[in-house]
Amino acid sequence: MSAATSALVISAHAADFVWRCGGAIALHAERGCAVTVLCLSFGERGESARLWKEGRSLQEIKDIRRGEAAAAAKALGVQSLVCLDLGDYPLDFSMENKMRIVDVIRQVQPDFMLSHSQYDPYNTDHMKTTEAVLEARMIAQAWGHNPGDPVLGAPQLYLFEPHQTEQMGWRPDTFLDITPVWDKKRAAMECMNGQAHLWEYYTRVAEQRANHFKRNSGGQAGGRDCRYAEGFQSVFPRTVDSL
């Protein structure tokens, strides 16, 4: 992923991009990659329990979550944060809204994309997001869709780690060392005050994935040191010149 010049993260809710690939965002942004985050919703209904308990209105919660997402994006070095406000629990994947996703993909022309696991019975917003992303990616590649607009190439789609990995059929085949930018990810996580209970959880996840990074980079026979990492599952075959 290191040679990419543009990347697109498609996040079902306002905080998903922070927990699941904040390190990848920060690392690539530091290397000059222009990262766009597309938030489909603010997680206002299903992922803002604390704010509802405080008696906030729907619009207040949306505004708060938008502000948290913007602060987190800034901490990670995101070039552009795009919020579509499609509602959540459930997300509205009408054809019109899918076309809005297609428009963003074509505008960004990403070298790679990131989104959710393909199965998530605990949060169907997540898996329906990736279903829509795959469809939008296909449409964005079609020469007959809005002829004359730039056509998308074939960017890899990486699926970031779901919350309850064992239940999702998610199998990581890529581990990314995010140790150099861990402070940025942690700062972005702490912007998400509506879900403060997840700060330590995702710190532990990053530490566990660092162990897997070390194991798969040579293990005890000379594996590279790593304190924090993120795991991803690639959807499409990767082309190489050597192993």
CATH code where residue 222 lies: 3.40.50.10320
Cα angle: 187, vertex 12, 158; to 5 degrees: 80
Residue 68 domain-assigned (yes or no): yes
Residue 36 domain-assigned (yes or no): yes
**Tell me, what's the pLDDT at 195?**
87
Residue 20 domain-assigned (yes or no): yes
**Tell me, what's the pLDDT at 243?**
83
**Per-residue pLDDT tens over the stretch 153-210:** 999 999 999 999 999 999 999 999 999 999 999 999 999 988 888 999 999 999 999 9
Average pLDDT over residues 38-51: 95
- HSE of 158, CA atoms in CB hemisphere, 13 A: 25
Average pLDDT over residues 41-66: 95
Residue 242 domain-assigned (yes or no): no
**Per-residue pLDDT tens over the stretch 61-98:** 999 999 999 999 999 999 999 999 999 999 999 999 99
Counting the structural domains of the chain, the total is 1
Residue 1 domain-assigned (yes or no): no
Show the domain range for 158: 6-234
Residue 239 domain-assigned (yes or no): no
Average pLDDT over residues 28-50: 96
Residue 240 domain-assigned (yes or no): no
| 1 pLDDT above the threshold of 50 | no
**Tell me, what's the pLDDT at 82?**
98
Residue 156 domain-assigned (yes or no): yes
**Tell me, what's the pLDDT at 87?**
96
| 4 pLDDT above the threshold of 90 | no
Q: Residue 210 burial (CB < 10 Å; 0-12/13-18/19+)? A: buried
